[in-house]
Structure 1
Amino acid sequence: MPTLQRLDPTTILATAAALSQELAANAVERDRTAGIPTYEVSRLRETGLLSLVIPQEYGGAGADLVTVYQVIKALAKADGSIGQLYGNHVGLVTLAHAIGTPAQKERDYRGTAQHQWFWGNAINTRDDRLKLSPDGDGFRLNGEKGFGTGIPAADRWVFSAVQAGVELPLFLAIPSDRPGVTILDDWDNVGQRRTASNSLSFDNVWVEADEIYGPPVDPDGAFATLPGPVAQVAKVYTYLGIAEGALEAARQYTQEKTRPWVASGVSGITTEPYILRHYGELWTELQAASALADKVAEQVQVAWEKGDTLTHEERGEVAVQVSAAKAFSTRVGLDIANRIFEVTGSRATATHYGFDRYWRDLRTFTLHDPADYKLRDVGNWFLNGVYPTPTQYS
């Protein structure tokens, strides 16, 4: 596969589609064994996708977020875990662009472009067990953290931690060979099994002062809070990719293996009226969710390009649309992943097909944050003109 530096979106998406097809070939087996996604990350590195979002002036391909989100969807179509891991990577490698200093932005972009770093994280700000304490010219990390997504396969780690006397959690990035971090082998969930989202423990881990992000150019500006929506849309495209993969797998199975019901009065499954109705409904749902997501992706790209000139009102408008897309893609994705069995039949539940992984992946990942609160935020904006409060999730 070609290097992606300075290639057009068509070539980039062709590369992503080829890798997606490759990953799909053994996705069922990798889901079954779980484990660390070393192979998948190596393929992302070899195809150049890890530097896709990095601006050209720092050595990357300079792709816009609209194209990057389509790559996430293509990967998730084959394997929801890899879609999530790549989406996380994109959000992490761009983090310093919004919340870091110019020197940190330069370091992260150039380092990733040059070394093809893969980024993993444990930045759930609701988990405050990880403590950061001053120590001379630097700091020390002690405590625990959950959901260390991609950490065992990552070259760079991003964490959130709390410091006494500091109101908000701090974000920091350290290399993966930093002593004192123990990765626990405790990720055994029903879905997203190749994300290796293990728990972590920290014993007096050293942190350089410049490894703590910030302050950004405009600490009170709207751009510094934009990583939340950027990451949320990456999740939307992961959901849509999984749903698209499920629907295509079901279609192929139906065409090749599903038999008409005895009372249908038809000889071939592709003319069975209820099968046609279900597929028509599921396809339409997916098109609607994808169209909304694509509209939101364009809005996020415009907001990203504004940088420090982005206003809080503009950021709020984006956040509303992101919340709507997140809630809707959750509903549609789960509906498709569940109902594919209605159009494939009882034999499709055989474990060697692995069709259940689509629902398991979606059900696991869509619990990242409650869709109810996304719809509440949309309703509060629609009725009261109140924008979502900027957080990691909105």
Structure 2
Amino acid sequence: MKKIVNDISKVDPQEYIVTLQDIKHHIQQSQIEAFTAINVALNMRNWMLGKIITEKQRQYAWGSNFIDLLAKDLQNMFPGNQGFSKTNLFRMKAFYAMYNSSTAVELLEKSPILTIPWGHNAIILIKIKNENEALWYAQQSKEHGWSRSALEDHIKKDLYNRQGKAINNFNQTLTQSHALITQQAFKDPYIFDFLTLEDNHIEQDLERGLIGHVEKLLLELGKGFALVARQYHLEVDGDDYYIDLLFYHTKLKCYIVVELKARAFNPRDVGQLNFYLSAVDALVRDKDDNPTIGLLLCKSKKNFTAEYALSGINKPIGVAEYATEIMKKLEQEFENKLPTIAQIEAELEKIEALDILKNKN
């Protein structure tokens, strides 16, 4: 039996640090599990309440006055609990209505909607009408640990319809499994709304602006991008070449060469980027790294022109546009399709009125 050591000076520092980190890990893990369990219980409760309210209104032809009465009684029964307001009860109805297909009900317990905070679900309910899109944002929130403000920002910028949309030749240049995850790592367009640039800006203006806001740049690029260098120097046959931005992607396990063009796409740009990829593969890439990938960011492009330019190229390249503000057309279209709480309530009341008429008939 080992002798118990009470003198702190006799405690091995390295062993103590290992022990402390082990305990810290278990505490943090238990906190995450507890937080997740709370989210699951709360979201499941809200889904069930939405189900009960919906079914009782249909069964007894109760209108919105029922929800007014229910909200008051629940708040009296649970004083101090802000979760039973009229607005939140309508959200619970919308929550049940959104995820009430046979598929959603069957997979409800495995769905990401249960593990994210209720506040995240409320934002999705207010701003998204399509179930698949809603589930996608819920999954991304869970996977990337988005805050509520980050979720709102991604929805505002319509990330769902931009993710994986860059023109590319990944299926022809990468293995099938690698091509799939690579495609999802790129988007089109990229929105650098944190920049203020003139319409006639040049590549150097764009590059300086991006580096000056590198944290926001990495957030827009997505999880996994790590900046290696700006104007990365390559020497080939005694000549000097400079890559605009060089990244390493921790998930794809490869270097990513980003070339910036403050003008419309030109097929000749692909040749330049292809050259850089070959040079990085030969001079920089480690034997354990996957093939280097190129991303050409341009002010505008014609899709067929970009597709034809990539045809026959044996290096993986994506071509996407960038915008320095949220595009007005996108913003207007998106704002027009976002329902307010009042609109959600009005729509639910309309549905209730139709149900009452059906029951009378």
TM-score interval for Structure 1 and Structure 2 normalised by the shorter chain: under 0.3
TM-score (norm 2): 0.26
Larger Rg, first or second structure (1 or 2):
2
TM-score (norm 1): 0.25
